[in-house]
């Protein structure tokens, strides 16, 4: 059972999310918070698997709350940022804080449920709309990172493209005709070669450098 904490200052939003998730098998809402400070306190008390975190909240924003929660070590919850985005200039800060996923509030119920399940399983989730915005806002000043990209084997590059497309390890395994364990090994190597700490950072790197948008070159096999 995936325990979820809902952190949003809008009571109607929390009520709607709670009603939606109540109907989903394998997911239970264990608590709610109306601001970032309360989110940290309740998360430490209830130890949810996933915190669905709004960014703009009173008392304490979702970015600083995310940063504190994720400093809690291996037992920390996964954090899925749920944002209006078009009004949020601090999404980059949330990325830096280490959030595990980013979804727009206009996402469909099915997309939200899938994102919760994905981050709970250890996958990164970046809404395509968020990814496009990240790419547009950073491509001009970041540009390609040929040095790190060249470290990847063809197969690792394929796996990274799958990650950037929002696919889970099983989905990547099926598309590349690999075992899930082999995909996990490739992901570990990718993180090391890109010098990033987790899947979300790898996905962000792929979009910021344009790697996710480049066509797959002819293989070197």
Q: Where in the sequence is the domain holding 202, given as residue range(s)?
A: 141-213
Pairing relationship of beta strands 78-83 and 27-33 according to DSSP bridges: unpaired
Instruction: Tell me, yes or no, whether 221 lies in a domain.
Output: no
Buried b (16+ CB within 10 A) or exposed e, 187-202: bebbbebbebebbbbb
Buried b (16+ CB within 10 A) or exposed e, 33-61: bbbbbbbbebbeeeebbbbbbbbebeeeb
Instruction: Tell me, yes or no, whether 151 lies in a domain.
Output: yes
Nearest to 170 by CA among 185, 160, 180: 180
The percentage of residues in the chain with a pLDDT greater than 70, rounded to a whole number, is 85
Global pTM value = 0.74
Which tens digits make up the pLDDT trace of 115-155? 999 899 887 777 766 666 665 555 545 556 778 888 999 99
Domain match, 70 and 19 both = yes
Mean pLDDT for 186-193 is 95
Instruction: Tell me, yes or no, whether 187 lies in a domain.
Output: yes
What pLDDT is stored for residue 90 in this prediction? 62
Beta bridge partners of 158: none
What pLDDT is stored for residue 5 in this prediction? 98
Domain match, 158 and 203 both = yes
CATH number at residue 47: 3.40.50.2300
Domain match, 147 and 90 both = no
Query: Which pLDDT band, with edges at 50, 70 and 90, does 217 fall under?
Result: low
Nearest to 146 by CA among 211, 87, 198: 211
What pLDDT is stored for residue 220 in this prediction? 45
Q: How many domains does the chain have?
A: 2
Domain match, 156 and 188 both = yes
């Amino acid at each position: 059972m995936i325990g979820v904490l809902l952190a949003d200052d809008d009571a109607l939003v929390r009520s709607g999310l709670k009603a939606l998730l109540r109907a989903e098998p394998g997911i239970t809402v264990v608590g709610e918070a109306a601001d970032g400070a309360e989110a940290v306190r309740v998360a430490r008390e209830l130890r949810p698997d996933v915190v669905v975190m709004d960014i703009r909240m009173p008392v304490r924003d979702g970015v600083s709350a995310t940063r504190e929660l994720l400093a809690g070590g291996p037992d920390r919850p996964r954090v899925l940022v749920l944002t209006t985005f078009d009004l949020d200039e601090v999404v980059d800060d949330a990325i830096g804080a280490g959030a595990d996923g980013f979804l727009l509030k206009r996402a469909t119920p099915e997309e939200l449920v899938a994102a919760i399940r994905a981050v709970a399983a250890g996958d990164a989730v970046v809404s395509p709309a968020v990814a496009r915005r990240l790419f547009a806002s950073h491509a001009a000043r970041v540009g390609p990172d040929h040095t790190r990209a060249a470290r990847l084997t063809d197969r690792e590059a394929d796996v990274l493209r799958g990650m950037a497309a929002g696919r889970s390890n099983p989905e990547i395994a099926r598309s590349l005709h690999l075992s899930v364990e082999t995909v996990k090994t490739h992901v570990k190597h990718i993180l090391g070669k890109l010098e990033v700490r987790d899947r979300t950072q790898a996905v962000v790197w792929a979009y910021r450098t344009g790697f996710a948008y480049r066509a797959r070159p002819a293989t070197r096999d």
